């Protein structure tokens, strides 16, 4: 295994995933119980994510599944002084995201699902930081700690260190981006963000 940010997509898997309709998977977000992640929804379409385990500026979440249906939302209700929101999906389902991802403040959002991630045509962002979404198996931190999405049996080692890279498995899933960004200078339409866009100076990485 190696860890690094990869600038390419896995073509064969991408072609396969492109054939899957977003609506074929029921949009749902659930905690896997390994951390203090709390997920609340009254309609199984709009989700509020609270809790998690905070270590320094890092806020860790662990999900059994993570999908957002068309027109739905996943809102991370984090403290505004959080630097990094780091979420992993430990279940065996692909993440189908066809709604809004939002977070408070300027936190960077990391989303890890080795099974694959599909951003639908209606997916959008409302975050003040960067988005790093990956099908790697683990996030690697500057102190050598790994936050793994495939080894959820043991309590994870959480760290205050800075995320530095990604560790890929032998057969990672693909990331598909079908989002449609607003080409106008104003990324808002009727008060709602459009497409996968981040603020100037921030990073949007799908690897």
Q: According to the model, what pLDDT value does residue 5 have?
A: 44
Structure tokens at 57: 């500026």
Ordered per-residue pLDDT tens for the chain, 207 residues: 444 444 433 333 443 444 444 444 454 999 999 999 999 999 999 999 999 999 999 999 999 999 999 999 999 999 999 999 999 999 999 999 999 999 999 999 999 999 999 999 999 999 999 999 999 999 999 999 999 999 876 678 899 899 999 999 888 899 999 987 665 555 444 445 557 889 999 999 999
Task: Tell me the CA distances in angstroms from 64 to 33, 56, 156, one per residue in order.
Answer: 8, 24, 15
For the CA atoms of 82, 52, 177, 139, the dihedral, rounded to the nearest 10 degrees, stands at 80
CA distance 163 to 141: 4
Distance CA 11, CA 121 (A): 19
Which pLDDT does position 20 carry in this prediction? 45
pLDDT of residue 193: 53
Bridge partners, 118 (sequence order): 96, 176
pTM greater than the 0.85 cutoff: no
Place of tokens 């996030």: 139
What pLDDT is stored for residue 194 in this prediction? Answer: 59
* Intra-chain end-to-end CA distance of the chain, in Å: 16
CA distance 3 to 69: 31
Segment 41-62, tens digit of pLDDT: 999 999 999 999 999 999 999 9
What is residue 153's predicted lDDT score, i.e. its pLDDT?
65
The pLDDT value recorded for residue 159 is 92
Task: Return the pLDDT at 121.
Answer: 94
């Amino acid at each position: 295994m190696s860890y690094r940010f990869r600038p390419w997509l896995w073509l064969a898997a991408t072609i396969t995933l492109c054939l899957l309709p977003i609506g074929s998977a029921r949009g749902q977000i659930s905690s896997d119980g390994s951390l203090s992640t709390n997920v609340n929804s009254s309609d199984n379409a709009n989700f509020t994510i609270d809790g998690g385990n905070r270590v320094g500026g890092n806020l860790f979440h662990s999900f059994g599944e993570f999908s957002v249906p068309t027109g739905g939302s996943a809102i991370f209700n984090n403290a505004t002084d959080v630097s990094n929101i780091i979420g992993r999906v430990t279940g065996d389902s692909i993440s189908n995201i066809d709604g809004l991802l939002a977070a408070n403040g300027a936190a960077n959002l990391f989303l890890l699902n080795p099974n694959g991630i599909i951003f639908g045509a209606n997916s959008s962002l409302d975050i003040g930081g960067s988005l790093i979404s990956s099908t790697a198996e683990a996030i690697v931190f500057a102190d050598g700690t790994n936050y793994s999405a495939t080894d959820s049996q043991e309590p994870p080692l959480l760290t205050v260190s800075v995320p530095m890279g990604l560790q890929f498995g032998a057969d990672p899933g693909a990331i598909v981006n079908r989002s449609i960004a607003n080409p106008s200078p104003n990324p808002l339409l009727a008060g709602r963000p459009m497409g996968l866009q981040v603020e100037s100076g921030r990073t949007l990485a799908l690897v």
